[in-house]
A and B are shown apart, each in its own frame.
Chain A
Amino acid sequence: GNSVTQMEGPVTLSEEAFLTINCTYTATGYPSLFWYVQYPGEGLQLLLKATKADDKGSNKGFEATYRKETTSFHLEKGSVQVSDSAVYFCALSNPPRPGGGFKTIFGAGTRLFVKA
């Protein structure tokens, strides 16, 4: 079945450090891939997405490239800020099947702490 595996946290970085959060997936077909972010005390928000191989999603300085050959969608940011402290979820959504549904599958989440 489909699954998403993220690196375990927490990840603790100093401000302006480089961030990578690894995400790999297992899926049949050609899923869409997403990163969601959950800031403290809030619900989830979409951070970025990619819908096909080699697509790069980007938002707020974060980037992730859909790598079909390595089944990965690693999240990167060149210089993190304290305000980036949050939990980050990698997710995939497979296309709808005829007569059936689909669902979004989430990784376990990776908590990021950024120190000033």
Chain B
Amino acid sequence: DGGITQSPKYLFRKEGQNVTLSCEQNLNHDAMYWYRQDPGQGLRLIYYSQIVNDFQKGDIAEGYSVSREKKESFPLTVTSAQKNPTAFYLCASSITGTGSVRAFFGQGTRLTVV
């Protein structure tokens, strides 16, 4: 089955440590995205990538980094510079053609800083 896989589902991190969240898709989509979801808030875009080896900052990129070395993979690193990293992180992918563009989402990773 095609889809997006995020891992792990739950992640605990000590304060001051960097941590990388995995996102893999086998849908052959060019575009991939990382969103953050906080209680009572909507999704906020962290980073997105339209094509391999290229990515752009979203609305809340500070304290995060990404890479896009392969079409299938778009890992997100939450650095120690991120002041409030505890949140639910969602990865998504989509095509980049014209017309209707819908996003496919992973199951999410819940990150807790302890």
Which A residues are closer than 8 A to B by beta carbons? 6, 32, 34, 36, 42-46, 49, 51, 89, 91, 93, 95-96, 101-109
CB distance from B27 to the nearest CB of A (A): 13
User: In the bound complex, how far is the Cα of B101 from the Cα of A102, in angstroms?
Assistant: 10
The answer to whether B101 and A32 touch across the interface, beta carbons within 8 angstroms, is: yes
A104 with B100, Cβ < 8 A, contacts A43-B105, A45-B105, A109-B42 known = no
User: In the bound complex, how far is the Cα of B71 from the Cα of A45, in angstroms?
Assistant: 22
Which B residues are closer than 8 A to A by beta carbons? 6, 31, 33, 35, 41-43, 45, 48, 50, 56, 58, 90, 92, 94, 96-108
User: In the bound complex, how far is the Cα of B90 from the Cα of A104, in angstroms?
Assistant: 13
The answer to whether B94 and A51 touch across the interface, beta carbons within 8 angstroms, is: no
A43 with B108, Cβ < 8 A, contacts A103-B48, A104-B94, A108-B42 known = yes
The answer to whether B41 and A95 touch across the interface, beta carbons within 8 angstroms, is: no
Number of A-B contacts (CB under 8 A): 68
The answer to whether A106 and B33 touch across the interface, beta carbons within 8 angstroms, is: no
The answer to whether B106 and A93 touch across the interface, beta carbons within 8 angstroms, is: no
The answer to whether B102 and A49 touch across the interface, beta carbons within 8 angstroms, is: yes
Of the candidates A43, A46, A107, which one forms a contact with B107 in the assembled complex, judged by CB atoms under 8 Å apart? Answer: A43
User: In the bound complex, how far is the Cα of B42 from the Cα of A91, in angstroms?
Assistant: 10
The answer to whether B92 and A104 touch across the interface, beta carbons within 8 angstroms, is: yes
* Closest chain B residue to A104, Cβ basis: B103
